[in-house]
């Protein structure tokens, strides 16, 4: 048994969709969440900047006594983690590998679509990982840069969001995909919009669900599950937290009453992991 907490970070609030799945799969695990709301989005930044930001996020979380850290950000997972995994003092997981494995098993016709930030699509990380699982599967990726700001500003149910989503998804529908990876952890908030456009014949793959099952297996297999104490949740942001309770509740699908603290993440930018 191990009662240390799990660390979780994202470029903004999208990682809360991963946290929601973790809370459901592992209700006794305590979690420290960091959202880099002051520097969101990561997907439009250069690879060098994404690596630098991710390194500072991890450095901040390592000030806590944690048993693992999860990069609940598709962009950070795809671009930064391959450069940083060997430097972290605790196990460091991303969302891309687990999600790619699930998608490769789910597809029936061998045609998988990926939607993500520009950075994630540019990295081609999902296509490479899927090819390792099944070289016969074809993978088409489309960047959806407007999705993150729409979600973070509370426009998930706006008619403009649907119009934009229709335009983004059209190339994938033309490819006849039967499986669609939501390659950014903000995108599950738009699941109902996306599913309505692609139809029930296309399976949506939620990174949060995939990584939650991976974490549960890892903790169980290594006897690292918490011993049954009441779980606690702590939230930290790099920008004004005044809107967090409202927006965060949408992501977690439960009210948030915990205190939220602001962190000067720049003080950790040059930190050594």
pLDDT in tens, 123-164: 999 999 999 999 999 999 999 999 999 998 889 989 999 999
Enumerate the β-bridge partners of residue 116: 143
Note the pLDDT of residue 186: 92
Can you tell me the mean pLDDT for 50-65?
A: 96
Over residues 89-106, the pLDDT tens digits come to: 899 999 999 999 999 999
Q: What DSSP string runs through the chain?
A: ---PEEEEEESSSTTHHHHHHHHHH-TT--EEEEE-TTT---TTS-HHHHHHHHHHHHHHHTTS-EEEEEE--HHIIIIIHHHHGGG-SS-EE-SHHHHHHHHHHH-SSSEEEEEE-HHHHHHTHHHHHHHHH-TT-EEEEEE-TTHHHHHHTT-TT-HHHHHHHHHHHHHHHHTT-SEEEE-STTGGGGHHHHHHHH-TTSEEE-HHHHHHHHHHHHHHHTT----SPPP-EEEEESS--TTHHHHHHHHHTS---S-EEE--GGGGTT---
Note the pLDDT of residue 114: 98
Where does the pLDDT of residue 7 fall: very low under 50, low under 70, confident under 90, or very high at 90 and above? very high
Can you tell me the mean pLDDT for 225-232?
A: 87
CA distance 18 to 196: 22
Q: Which of 88, 139, 144, 184 is catalytic?
A: 184
Note the pLDDT of residue 5: 97
Share of the chain above pLDDT 90, in %: 82
CA distance 3 to 30: 8
Over residues 178-219, the pLDDT tens digits come to: 999 999 999 999 999 999 999 999 999 999 999 999 999 999
Note the pLDDT of residue 154: 85
Q: Which of 73, 139, 144, 210 is catalytic?
A: 73
Note the pLDDT of residue 242: 85
| Residue 210 designated active-site | no
CA distance 217 to 223: 10
For residue 181, the tally of other CB atoms under 10 A from its CB is 30
Buried-state track 186-205, b at ≥16 Cβ within 10 A, e below 16: bbbbbeebbeebbeeebbbb
C-alpha Rg value of the chain to the nearest Å: 18
pTM reported for the whole predicted model: 0.93
Can you tell me the mean pLDDT for 2-17?
A: 95
Q: Are 189 and 151 in contact (CB under 8 A)?
A: yes
| Residue 73 designated active-site | yes
Give me the chain's average pLDDT, please.
93
Note the pLDDT of residue 273: 59
Q: Which residue has the higher pLDDT, 230 or 114?
A: 114
Q: For residue 10, with 0-12 CB atoms within 10 Å meaning exposed, 13-18 middle and 19 or more buried, which class applies?
A: buried
């Amino acid at each position: 048994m191990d009662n240390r907490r799990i660390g979780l970070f994202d470029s903004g609030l999208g990682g809360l969709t991963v946290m929601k799945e973790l809370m459901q799969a592992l209700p006794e695990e305590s979690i420290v969440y960091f959202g880099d709301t002051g520097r969101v989005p990561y997907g439009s930044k250069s690879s060098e900047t994404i690596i630098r930001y991710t390194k500072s996020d991890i450095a901040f979380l390592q000030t806590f006594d944690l048993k693992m850290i999860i990069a609940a950000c598709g962009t950070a997972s795809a671009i930064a983690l391959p450069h940083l995994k060997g430097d972290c003092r605790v196990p460091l997981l991303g969302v891309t590998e687990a999600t790619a494995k699930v998608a490769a098993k789910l597809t029936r016709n061998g045609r998988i679509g990926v939607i993500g930030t520009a950075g994630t699509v540019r990295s081609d990380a999902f296509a490479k990982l899927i090819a390792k699982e099944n070289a016969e599967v074809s993978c088409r990726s489309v960047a959806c840069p407007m999705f993150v700001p729409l979600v973070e500003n509370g426009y998930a149910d706006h008619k403009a969001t649907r119009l934009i989503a229709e335009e983004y998804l059209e190339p994938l529908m033309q490819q006849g995909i039967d499986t669609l990876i939501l390659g950014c952890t903000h995108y599950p908030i738009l699941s109902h919009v996306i599913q309505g456009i692609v139809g029930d014949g296309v399976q949506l793959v939620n990174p949060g669900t995939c990584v939650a099952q991976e974490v549960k297996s890892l903790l169980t297999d290594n006897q690292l599950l918490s011993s049954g104490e009441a779980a606690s949740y702590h939230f930290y942001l790099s920008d004004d937290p005044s809107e967090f309770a409202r927006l965060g509740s949408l992501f977690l699908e439960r009210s948030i009453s915990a205190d939220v603290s602001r962190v000067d993440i720049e003080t950790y930018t040059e930190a050594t992991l």
